[in-house]
Structure 1
Amino acid sequence: MATKILLLEDDQLFNETLQDFLEEEGFMIHCALDPYSALDLTYKSTYDLYLFDVNLPYENGFDLLKKLRTSGDLTPTIFLTSRDDKSSLTQGFETGADDYMKKPIDLDELLLRIGALLRRQVRKERVNIGDYTLDMVAKTLYLHDKPLELTQKAVELLVLLVESKGEVVSSEIIKNRLWAAGQHASNGSLRVYITQLKKYFPQAIENVRGIGYKWIV
């Protein structure tokens, strides 16, 4: 079955260009020109991936994704935007984005990013890791059905690493996902949460020096 993508882009010409390109690559594309239409489509269909513009009529792409994430929609999402400031990048990841591309979009690069994101997508609500079970939605780690006392950020970090499926996750991406804007996110703070997880998974997390961390189970 073809991968189904919801494309939200208010520039009709660019919307059609992306649709034509991705359909030629074998994807099934549903298109929307505004966030309200896109939201309606999410009620009618289940998608494998969202491609969202940020600057949109009525409300921006960040607000739309925040609504979807609040409702429990974990569909992988790539933002396509002309914004290039760090605060927008941070906001995009904080709302639950998985990737972020700045316009003008290189179509071949977009294809590579889509492929990488879909390969590491975790569809199951619960993932078994040896004797442990990770609830990806409730953000809770269990040992033999008993919830463990882990900080929220430690569990969110575990979810992010497990979702990566063996790919290196940079420290910058981790900090953007775990800390809100204005919060201090030092490498030392990050190491605290890595240490917490290594108590349960001593052999599963590899430190890739100068870059980030990798889940190797």
Structure 2
Amino acid sequence: MSTKILLLEDDLLFGESIMDLLEEEGFEMIHCRNGQEALDETYKNHFDLYLLDINVPLIDGLSLLKELRRANDTTPTIYLTSHQEIEKISQAFEIGADDYLKKPFNTDELLVRIHALLRRSKGKNRLCIGELCLDELHKCILLAGKEIPFSLKEYQLMSLFIRNAGEIVTKEMIMDTLWNPSEMISDGAIRVYVNRLKQEIGSESIVNIRGVGYRLVP
């Protein structure tokens, strides 16, 4: 799964040079020239990193990140800014920025900071059992580095198994996770979802504990 980066930069030539640099490094890039466009893109895509300028049209970079953090978007963020004032930089970190670079900057330094931040964020947002990984940042399940196309309920159930790997996940735990308390759920409905997971990760990976629930074998 490629690493996707959103770049918010209203200077077209500077933005295109950053795009060219990062695409050559293998990153999947989306370039926005105003804050509203960037905000709209965050609704449509899952990003691994935000690169944000501050002084951009419609929604400035600081207001944009503030809005994203309010919505519990924890995507790592680096500001690329010409601001020199410590007050602006402090404000960026208070809002939830992870790093910043003052323009003009060395492109090699940008790459070093991007790779370092991505390594840290992936370690914090992924829980792996062997080759099976729960990516909580992007709300997906990976097997050997490839995303499994699960529905929402399948993702929720697989997440429950991964967080409780080696332990019994009871039918009651599954019902509480996947359905509302008022819904009447049969054992057959649970088996349908469990069997779907087994199809993707291997039938031997999830063991039936008769009359109690299931267990993910680490």
TM range (shorter): 0.5 to 0.7
CA–CA separation in structure 1 for the residues paired with 2:87 and 2:15:
26
CA–CA separation in structure 1 for the residues paired with 2:107 and 2:126:
34
CA–CA separation in structure 1 for the residues paired with 2:124 and 2:23:
27
CA–CA separation in structure 2 for the residues paired with 1:103 and 1:12:
15
- Equivalent in the alignment of 2:19: 19
Higher helix fraction (1 or 2): 2
- Unaligned runs of 5+ residues in structure 2 are 128-135, 138-218
- Alignment of 1:42 with 2:35, yes or no, is no
- Equivalent in the alignment of 2:120: 120
- Alignment of 1:89 with 2:83, yes or no, is no
- Equivalent in the alignment of 2:158: none
CA–CA separation in structure 2 for the residues paired with 1:115 and 1:31:
19
- Unaligned runs of 5+ residues in structure 1 are 128-135, 138-217
CA–CA separation in structure 1 for the residues paired with 2:123 and 2:9:
26
Q: Which amino acid aligns with 1:41?
A: E
Which structure's CA Rg is the greater one? Answer: 2
TM-score (norm 1): 0.56
CA–CA separation in structure 1 for the residues paired with 2:97 and 2:65:
8
- Equivalent in the alignment of 2:108: 108
Q: Which amino acid aligns with 2:2?
A: A
Measured after TM superposition, the shift of residue 115 of structure 1 is 0.5
- Equivalent in the alignment of 1:55: 55
What fraction of aligned residue pairs are identical, expressed as a percent? 55
- Alignment of 1:64 with 2:67, yes or no, is no
Q: Which 4+ stretches in 1 moved above 4 angstroms?
A: 122-127
- Alignment of 1:74 with 2:66, yes or no, is no
Judged with a 3 Å threshold, the aligned counterparts in structure 2 of structure 1 residues 5 and 125 are, in CA distance, closer, same or farther, namely: closer
Q: Which amino acid aligns with 2:53?
A: D
CA–CA separation in structure 1 for the residues paired with 2:116 and 2:125:
20
Judged with a 3 Å threshold, the aligned counterparts in structure 2 of structure 1 residues 59 and 119 are, in CA distance, closer, same or farther, namely: same
Per-residue Cα deviation, 1:11-54 (whole angstroms, up to 9, x for no partner): 00111000001000110001100000001100000000000001
CA RMSD between the two structures: 2.2
Q: Which amino acid aligns with 2:79?
A: F
Measured after TM superposition, the shift of residue 114 of structure 1 is 0.1
CA–CA separation in structure 2 for the residues paired with 1:21 and 1:101:
16
CA–CA separation in structure 1 for the residues paired with 2:33 and 2:50:
13
Secondary structure of 2:26 counterpart: coil
Measured after TM superposition, the shift of residue 106 of structure 1 is 1.2
Secondary structure of 2:109 counterpart: helix
Per-residue Cα deviation, 1:55-87 (whole angstroms, up to 9, x for no partner): 111231010000000001000000000001110
Secondary structure of 2:121 counterpart: coil
Aligned residues: 130
